[in-house]
Structure 1
């Protein structure tokens, strides 16, 4: 559909309006609005399955300036519902790029709005909290957009992993690798698989509805519980399966949504955050080593700290330094641990890659006990 005026509108759930210019695909889109504070890595962010159902505000000024590359994707599709940015560049200057962001968004039918005062918008969201929003570059009727926005469900209580996880099992890595890791896919990022494969692991990726018996029939040496979108508390079947997995006596590593589901399987609780954490510059403290980490994060729900600290079998291993929320935990009686953030860091710094090393070390140790 052609937009002859080149105008676009962003309407928030509380009636606040931001006007700007149309970018990407001409159309209308809805989702929960959130912001990411990363300065780079926009293509990895856009293709992260954990963003499914969300309209993303980019806080960095220029988006699209280095184009897109087929090698910089975290899934097979763009997963954000829409984009809000200050400057959207049709031009790019990088030899490795395969196309412009405009062409990429048009091919994936992603609606965007540019020339928005994103600093004012982010400050507003920080004050008012996360809420649903609608972007349109085809319909300028505020009343019609308000009516359409009322039909959008709240992210709280919404299960979204089934929209992005694999429907069929598949393998990743070298079959001759020393370690076999079963990956339960809630919306896994490709770089999580790469980080494991680089550490001598052969992976079998299972759909989120796979049963414990199906997973165990492959005889894995350990389990990876992946990231993903939506509210973890409504995923009762997966929580029950993860409870069986964590009790199996084999090493377990959970990331993001996998971390939350693991916590819920242990009887802890989660809650929706006022804004969430999204960016590749979030400071975390490793409580056990005293070392700080700059981390990549993307989550709108969090495991409640009080519940974790009051559980005698749980040790809080990491805390977010901005708001002291829980960023990592481990079970005291087994080789099971998880973090709220993204140690695969795509995009982001590599401060937390050691967690993959720790997981593989747990697998090696577990296998040596079995042999002994």
Structure 2
């Protein structure tokens, strides 16, 4: 495969040249790094990465190929990926296509033959940066002008792009490695929830079903009045707020709807963006971390039992420490002591910042899904 040159310009003035694979053209986005050792397809198809370029610190990427079963959503919303060394020829019995083909089909850029350690350290020291990558334009001044004319990630409501347009029932459970398929008949416990799609991952839905819940997925622009009416009629027992991309402070309408659910005492559980949205709806705005948490090896302490869980993280924003005025901290990130979990006082609401289903990644926090089911 002949790799074409690609030119990269970052808002801090750094200009780089590398090789491209996948989508050809020009794309802008925010550059972040991910320290996971595996699961690049699951990471790329996680809607939480919409509008971002992901620098993979694992140097060899592509060897396991790609397949439909490992998709976390219907498409790739990430702008692109940086890898040190691309493996073009997959070696995995489950692979149905190579990584360049997968990216081209999903209109996402691939950039290789570049020093990913340099990029990671730059982001670590200076924070995430807006950038542009192009296989068509090599002039620095032109790239700079194109980047400056593009919207910043915090100005775009990516939820409107990644959320489902209409509601649907999700019935699959977790992956059965022996049968090489997802569990089609998970045990049911007679409790139904609504799952708000803010950029929801497939395996989060699978875990909710595996916990015994009937799951109806609804769009981001849901009506709180309709949800409250269904809850009072006994049609549903609770609501789940999913992960998702972008700056949570831009979600004014969603926060207003969640605020009504809080007032109506509807039981809720939130993950990642859902965790942040609950904080905002309670009157505690989120803030942006220096370089975010992206990886599958983050230690989190469960303050209830003092057990350390290794978790998967994917977020640039966090809830403020002042929220302890109205909630109890249940989980703490041991890398930076930021809040990873909350239980709200006098309300049937709890949330976590990390991804308990950990696809890809460790599964030490999967118990949280059954905990939600048992609380309803």
Do the structures match in fold with TM over 0.5? yes
Aligned to 2:61: 63
Query: Which of residues 255, 273, 287 is equivalent to 1:257?
Result: 273
User: After alignment, is 244-253 or 266-275 more displaced?
Assistant: 244-253
Q: Alpha-carbon deviation of 1:295?
A: 0.6
User: After alignment, is 244-253 or 36-45 more displaced?
Assistant: 244-253
Query: Which of residues 144, 169, 172 is equivalent to 1:171?
Result: 169
Aligned to 1:146: 144
* Residues 96 and 5 of structure 1: CA distance in aligned 2, closer, same or farther (over 3 Å): closer
The reply to whether residue 323 of structure 1 matches residue 323 of structure 2 is: no
Secondary structure in 2 aligned to 1:156?
Answer: helix
Aligned to 2:323: 308
Asked if the contact 1:184–1:206 (Cα under 8 Å) also holds between the matched residues in 2, the reply is yes
The number of equivalent residue pairs is 358
Q: Distance in 1 between matches of 2:136 and 2:152?
A: 24
User: After alignment, is 185-194 or 166-175 more displaced?
Assistant: 166-175
Q: Distance in 2 between matches of 1:92 and 1:4?
A: 17
Aligned to 1:279: 295
**Which digits, 9 at most, give the CA deviation of each residue in 1:184-225, with x for residues without a partner?**
111111111100111111111111111012224442111100
**Which digits, 9 at most, give the CA deviation of each residue in 1:67-88, with x for residues without a partner?**
0011001100011101111011
Unaligned 5+ runs, structure 1? 364-372
The reply to whether residue 296 of structure 1 matches residue 312 of structure 2 is: yes
Aligned to 1:357: 370
Aligned to 1:111: 109
Q: Distance in 2 between matches of 1:55 and 1:326?
A: 25
The reply to whether residue 227 of structure 1 matches residue 243 of structure 2 is: yes
TM-score (ref. length: structure 2): 0.92
Unaligned 5+ runs, structure 2? 172-184
Secondary structure in 1 aligned to 2:68?
Answer: coil
Q: Distance in 2 between matches of 1:253 and 1:259?
A: 8
Q: Alpha-carbon deviation of 1:18?
A: 2.2
Q: Alpha-carbon deviation of 1:153?
A: 2.2
Aligned to 1:267: 283
Secondary structure in 2 aligned to 1:328?
Answer: strand
* Residues 274 and 345 of structure 1: CA distance in aligned 2, closer, same or farther (over 3 Å): same
Query: Which of residues 192, 209, 213 is equivalent to 2:204?
Result: 192
Aligned to 1:370: none
Aligned to 1:44: 42
Q: Alpha-carbon deviation of 1:157?
A: 4.4
Secondary structure in 1 aligned to 2:69?
Answer: coil
Aligned-residue Cα RMSD (Å) equals: 1.7
User: After alignment, is 173-182 or 45-54 more displaced?
Assistant: 173-182
TM-score (ref. length: structure 1): 0.93
Aligned to 2:351: 338
After the TM superposition, list the runs of 4 or more consecutive aligned residues in structure 1 that deviate by more than 6 angstroms.
none
